[in-house]
Every structure is written in C-alpha cells, then in structure tokens.
Chain A
Amino acid sequence: MTDLTSLTLAEARDQLKSRAISSRDLTTAHLDAIERGKGLNAYVTVTAEKALSMAEASDARLAKGEGGPLQGLPIGIKDLYATEGVHTQACSHILDGFKPTYESTVTANLWRDGAVMLGKLNMDEFAMGSSNETSFYGPVASPWLPPNWSREQARAALADAGKRGLLAPGGSSGGSSAAVAAHLCLAATASDTGGSIRQPAAFTGIVGIKPTYGRCSRWGMVAFASSLDQAGPLARTVRDAAIMLRSMAGPDPKDSTCSTEPVPDYEAAVGRSVKGLTIGVPKEYRLDGMNPEIETLWAKGAEWLRAAGANIVEVSLPHTRHALPAYYIVAPAEASSNLARYDGVRYGLREPSADIVDLYEKTRARGFGAEVRRRLMIGTYVLSAGYYDAYYLRAQKIRTLIKRDFEVAFQNGVDAILTPATPSAAFAIGEKVSADPVEMYLNDVFTVTVNMAGLPGLVTPAGLSADGLPLGLQLIGRPFDEETLFALGETIEQAAGRLTPPEPWWA
C-alpha cells in the first residue's frame, strides 16, 4: 500500500469518493505521521479521538454516496482559531487553559464540508513573528535540512527544545507550514496579518493564499490587527489551496467586515488559461542589494507566465517602501487595543494581587512574551495623547496611498502583479533573535503591502536556492479575484514543479 500521507488533498478526496481508501485509514496514517514527527513541534495539541470519530462519521456518509466537498479529509488548524472544547491559545501563555465554548466560523465551515480535525498547530504568539520562535510552546523545525547538514546532525538538533541551527518554517503560521510540508496533514488553516501565510509557504516550499480582506470571516479567530487579519489555507498544491479556500470563505453575519460576495468554485480556475492576461512587475520591489537568486527566480517566473501567453509589463507602486514602517504603526496600534482584553479576569492566566491594576500588570507581564510586550508598548505609544496624529493618523494616510498605487495599476489594465515572496530562503532557528527586532520585520517587505491594501496574495513555490532551499513567488490580485491567482499559480506550479523536502529524517 502506498503511504496515504503522500496523497494530495485532491487525490485523497477523489480516492475517498471512489471508496478506494477510507477516511479512517487516511486519518490513522496522518495521526501516525504526527506521532513520529513529534520532534518537529508542529502540533501543540493532537485531537486523535475527535479525528477518528469524525473520520468514521465521514466513512458512513461516503458509503451512502453523501458527503461535503472535504468529506473525510484530515487537516490541521492553527492555534488561533477557536475550536469548541479544544486548546485555543494563539500559542500564548496568557491564554493558559482556554477552551472556547464556541467554534470559529472558518473551522465551522470546514467541519460543515466534512473535514476531519487532527489537532491544533503551533504559531508565533498572537501571530506576532516571522519564524515561529515567539511561541510559548517553543520553536517549530522545518522539514527541510539546513545546507550541508546530515540527517543525524539534524536529528540531534531536533531532540533539543531550542532546535537551534535547524531551519525556521517561517511565521507566524510555522506549525501549519511545517505540518503541511512534512505531510502531517493534507492541508492546514493559517492566518495572515503581514505575511504570516505567504512567508511560511515560501520557506517550506508549499502554497499559501491570503484572500481579499473580508473573503473569510474573522469571527472566532484570535484578533491581532483587525483591519489586516485574514484567514487562508496552506496546502501542497495550488489546487488543494483552491479547494480549502472555497470551504473556508463565505459570508457571516457575525463579522460585519465579511463580504457577502458569493464564493466561486476556485478549483475550476485551476488550469484555466492565462493567455492574454497582463501581469505587472513592480519596479519598486527591486530592492538595493537584493539577493541575486531572488532576482533570477523572479525573472524566471515572468518568463514562465509569458510563455503561457501572458503579457508582462513593468508597473510602478511608488509607496512600496513605506508599507513596512506604516505597518509597524498600524498593526501594533490595533494589537494594543485588541489585546487589552487579556486582563487576568475573564479567561486564561491570572497573577493574584490585592490590587486590580497590579493584577493586570503582573498578569500581562508574565503572560505575554517579549515580542508581544514590545508591540503592545509601541501600539500604546503611537495611540497615546500627543503622538496619535504624528504616528497613527499619518500611517493611515500612507495606507491610503499604498492602496491607491495598486488601484492605479489595476485601472491601467494589469490583471495581477508578480513579485518575490521573501527577500531570502529560510534562515536558521536562533539566527535572527538579535537585539534589533527590525531585522526580523524585514522578512515581510514583499508581503505586507498586500495586507495594507486588503488585496489577495498567493505564494507558490518556484524553485530551489543554490543551497537547495525552497524559494517562492507571490501573485497579487484585484479585490475578490482569487480565481486569476489560482490560474496563474497553477501555471507557475506546472513550470516549476512541486518541491519535496528530504525523506523524513525527523521520523
């Protein structure tokens, strides 16, 4: 029997439907893979019993020729989605013991369509990070081997909780990306505020899409920066990502920013011709001192699309370089407001004190990690009296300009924009935990503009670096035109081929 974890989501779906395999066997194979891959630290909780009962219910439905679009398919859920009665902490200490009494809309949609929950996936604390190193539950190791490392060397590093020297799977959705790349689930939910779906996808050689702001409901997602946060999937193929997004997306009266636009059949767009599409290549993304490998890959991506019949044109997005600084005002400001709810009174950690303010301060000092504390303080500062206009209001005006840049490009006939996904391939765990937090922030330089403008962005693997590590390209689309991104993404996937990490050295 072939290993059931080697199937793509679409293949598994088709084989379940034809009754060639059962959801029980498929789910058991994944639970076994999770157990063997524990060292990667991708999961913070495994819901084996729940998974098996969902699988059995799925098999019963499939046997009757019934079942939803995801019936019987085992997936992983990022720890920031509220799942009823199951560990939901956004990998923060401050949410210790929190088990929601409700289900997020996105996960409810996935269960409605028949998906099977394997467990909750590791992430940077409150999604603040680009390497999964800020998680209270420790770092996650990528299934890709560091350059010139032997399997034995990597296994030894894996045994250590710090996992130093192994590759970061990106962040904040690092548990999701590692689990998908290592075949510990067929696909996973993730979320993206400044690049947290797309950068991990690029680092681990998989596909991720942050849809248009409002495409998925944010209800029941632990909030970071509400005007930027958006749910999306990580998967091993463009088709799999399309299947996942169709189920995750959709209107929700419980989120007033959630769109009522009907959800198209994204899978139908996979394989659609890209002939005649106009693809913009923004000159401002060609940064000074850019990694030549990234530049070559980007040119190759444009060449693949041109060969498929698309027209490549240069476009200008003049405010690009202001996006990241503006983001580091807007996102912390919103976070400082959203995270005010963690007060030691209503849920999670509580540091006892006879004085209420002291209780708040002690609880929040102990419950939040260093990166979260830092961002909350920045956010508090830029919203405080006397600084609001200089920082927050100014950043929101710049956000208008960033969005306008894209609108001009689209009005000039551009159907989508092609950019690199990240400035480099994956770095090692421990490599960037330096004194200067800004160095880590620069990871999001190509992705953050998309959140600031509320647009959809898809990252697909496009090749390997000279060191043998995955590199990705990003496609940015018009609002609610995810279909064009899936069509273009498939073209790149077909040209570049899928990237597969080394044989399971971690198991």
Chain B
Amino acid sequence: MSVDLAAVRRIAHLARIGVSEAETPHLQDEINAILKFVEALNEVDVEGVEPMTSVTPMRLPMRDDVVTDGEIAGKVLANAPLTEDGFFLVPKVIE
C-alpha cells in the first residue's frame, strides 16, 4: 500500500500537524518508504494468532476507590502558556 498527496494531507490533519504544500511530496516519499519497509509483514501467517494486549502476564491491579490527590489547580496550571482565573485559556470554540 502507498499513500497519495491527498492522503498525506488527510493524515496530517488527523494528527493535527500543519503541513505546507511544499513539504507534502517529501512527506509522501518518506511515509511510502516506511510503508514499503513494513510490507514484509504481509507474508506472515497470523491465522488464529491472538494480538498482544499485554507483554507481561499480569492482572491489572485494583486499589480502593478513594480520592488520593487533588486540590492542586495551581500545580496543574503552572506550566500553561495562558491561563485566566484558574482556567486554561483557549480561542473561542463555540459560536
């Protein structure tokens, strides 16, 4: 499989990465080189093989359903580029 220019633009948008028209062909080549590299996987017989979900056989641990942290709004916001009144500030998203 390979991707065309329209697919590259679509992927970039899905990944929320701005891509200029000028870089699109170059990205297309690079992505296609990687897709060609992984093509060899098609020869593997995976009939009846379970996909891996956990690399180590372990049970997901359970803990008591209690509050263990919180009340740290200041810390949460400490690295934000823009805040106001204890909130993250973003452009208007609802008209």
Contact = CB atoms under 8 A, between A and B. Distances in A.
Interface of A: 97-102, 212-214, 227, 253, 256-257, 259-260, 319, 321-322, 325-326, 328-329, 336, 340, 343-350, 353-362, 364-365, 368, 373-374, 376-381, 384, 387, 390-391, 393-401, 403, 435-438, 441, 452-454, 479
A346 B88 contact: yes
A380 B13 CA distance: 10
A396 B80 CA distance: 36
- What 4 A-B pairs are tightest by C-beta distance, nearest first? A454-B55, A396-B51, A365-B18, A361-B18
Contact of B31 (A99, A213, A358, A377): A377
Contacts of B12: 377
Contacts of B38: 325-326, 328-329, 391, 395
Contact of A394 (B8, B33, B46, B53): B46
A101 B11 contact: no
Contact of B37 (A401, A435, A441): A441
Contact of B79 (A97, A213, A359, A452): A97
B14 A380 contact: yes
Nearest to A98: B79
B67 interface: no
A336 B80 contact: no
B79 to A, nearest CB: 4
B31 A378 contact: yes
B5 interface: no
Interface in B31-80: 31, 33-35, 37-42, 44, 46, 49-56, 58, 60-61, 63, 72, 75, 78-80
B15 to A, nearest CB: 4
Nearest to B15: A380
A364 B33 contact: no
Contact of B52 (A99, A325, A403): A403
B16 A364 contact: yes
B43 to A, nearest CB: 9
Label chain A's interface by main secondary structure.
Answer: helix
A214 B18 CA distance: 36
A380 B15 CA distance: 6
B31 A214 contact: no
Interface residues of B, number: 52
A213 B55 contact: yes
A374 B90 contact: no
A92 B46 CA distance: 38
A346 B60 contact: no
Nearest to B93: A356
Contacts of B7: 381
B16 A354 contact: no
Contact of B17 (A98, A259, A346, A365): A365
Contacts of A361: 13, 16-18
B16 A256 contact: no
A345 B8 CA distance: 25
A259 B55 CA distance: 12
Nearest to B79: A347
A213 B39 CA distance: 28
B44 A401 contact: yes
Given A356-B91, A400-B50, 10 more contacts: A214-B56, A260-B61, A345-B90, A376-B17, A381-B3, A381-B31, A393-B51, A396-B51, A397-B46, A401-B44
A166 B72 CA distance: 47
B44 to A, nearest CB: 6
B44 A377 contact: no
Contacts of B58: 214, 257, 259
14 contacts: A101-B72, A213-B55, A214-B56, A256-B61, A259-B56, A322-B41, A346-B80, A348-B81, A359-B91, A374-B34, A380-B15, A399-B51, A401-B46, A435-B30
Contacts of A365: 17-19
Contacts of B44: 319, 322, 394, 398, 401
A265 B2 CA distance: 51
A100 B82 CA distance: 17
Contacts of A400: 49-52
Nearest to B47: A397
A212 B78 CA distance: 35
A319 B60 CA distance: 29
A377 B90 contact: no
Given A214-B56, A376-B17, A394-B41, A348 B79 contact: yes
Given A376-B17, A438-B34, A384 B52 contact: no
Contacts of B30: 374, 435, 437
B55 A398 contact: no
Most A CB atoms within 10 A — which of B8, B39, B58?
A: B58
